[in-house]
Amino acid sequence: MSAFETGTRMNQPDVIEVSSVTTVLGGVVIHRHLDLRVHAGEVLAIIGGSGSGKTTLLRLMLGLEVPSEGEVRLFGQVLGRCEMQDLERVRHRWGVLFQQGALFSALTVFQNVALPLRELKTVPRELIPQLVMLKLQQVGLKEADAAKMPSELSGGMIKRVSLARALILDPQVLFLDEPTAGLDPASSKQFVSLVQALRREMNLTVVMVTHDVDTLFAVADRVAVLADQRLVAVGPLSEVVDIPHPFIHNFFLGHREQCMEENIRSYRETLGREQPARVPGKPTPLAA
């Protein structure tokens, strides 16, 4: 493999396979010979400096970019080199939360979340309101929020509406692009707790691009580090922090003790106890 991979491979099937991928965009080499596997049920976080190709790697996994060499498989399907109907079937099995939320400004919260159901026409129209309200409640929003426009929402609420839309098709894989960007520390912690709870409830596999050490500390099972056009490390956070690479040293400067395995375990147990219990039909109380 092109990365220094720590620990042992999880005893889970691979949901995503990145094999010998080289990416060239506009004549610029972004990635060279990347190899990466995402295991079912894990949270894999991708980190790297500005221009390291984090978002491009995410786009490759979504089939929005095609590698110059190598291939990307999702659920065994090669992306970028398959029939459109095959790609559509795979796309229905994932959800995406983009960095800025990507809500349609002319649509209400309800309409934004309902859009995938209405476009795909996979459920009867009369069931759409029930499903939309269920997802809004699942991400901690109130019934009254459904009628609001995106311009009326706080940053935290935009994230949660976008998350509800990403989950409306009950995906198996959830892609998150900088999920806590723009949130204050309290809202960031609450949002990460929500993602962790949803991951357990829905048995999700999560692929997340982030620059936030606290988010890694709270939720990541493994971390993939992009630098020098390659993956320089893949493994548990407690082991990746000890790898002697300049980016890793600078990124985790002052955080190494925080990332020790026993500290991670203790913090996540505390976070789990702080997460409010879920009552069917009632929203989870989170700050806006």
Strands 69-74 and 14-25: what pairing? antiparallel
Mention every residue, 6+ apart, whose C-beta is less than 8 A from residue 257: 263
What residue type is 1 in one-letter code? M
**pLDDT at residue 129 in the model:** 95
**Rounded distance, CA 140 to CA 130, Å?**
16
Q: Hunting for tokens 């311009």 — which residue is that?
A: 151
What residue type is 91 in one-letter code? R
DSSP state letter for 127: G
**Rounded distance, CA 39 to CA 14, Å?**
4
**How much is the average pLDDT of 77-102?**
78
Nearest to 181 by CA among 218, 143, 154, 155: 155
C-alpha dist (Å) from residue 255 to 100, 148, 150, 271: 27, 40, 36, 18
C-alpha dist (Å) from residue 29 to 33, 71, 116, 136, 233: 11, 16, 34, 41, 19
| pLDDT beyond 80 at 280 | no
**Rounded distance, CA 239 to CA 194, Å?**
26
**Rounded distance, CA 188 to CA 175, Å?**
17
The runs of H, that is alpha helices, within the chain are: 54-61, 84-91, 109-120, 128-138, 155-167, 185-202, 213-219, 237-240, 246-251, 261-274
Structure tokens at 11: 């005893």
**Each residue of 224-258: pLDDT tens digit?**
999 999 999 999 999 999 999 999 999 999 888 88
| pLDDT beyond 60 at 276 | no
Domain ranges of the chain: 40-54+171-274
**pLDDT at residue 9 in the model:** 46
pLDDT band, very low/low/confident/very high, at 123 (cuts 50, 70, 90): confident
**How much is the average pLDDT of 53-79?**
92
Question: What does pLDDT average to over the chain?
Answer: 87
Q: Which residue has the higher pLDDT, 119 or 206?
A: 206
- Fold entry, domain 40-54+171-274: Rossmann fold (3.40.50)
Strands 43-48 and 222-227: what pairing? parallel
Strands of 173-177's sheet in order across: 4-5, 230-235, 222-227, 43-48, 205-209, 173-177, 94-97
Cα-trace Rg, the chain: 19
**pLDDT at residue 69 in the model:** 95
**pLDDT at residue 275 in the model:** 59
**pLDDT at residue 1 in the model:** 41
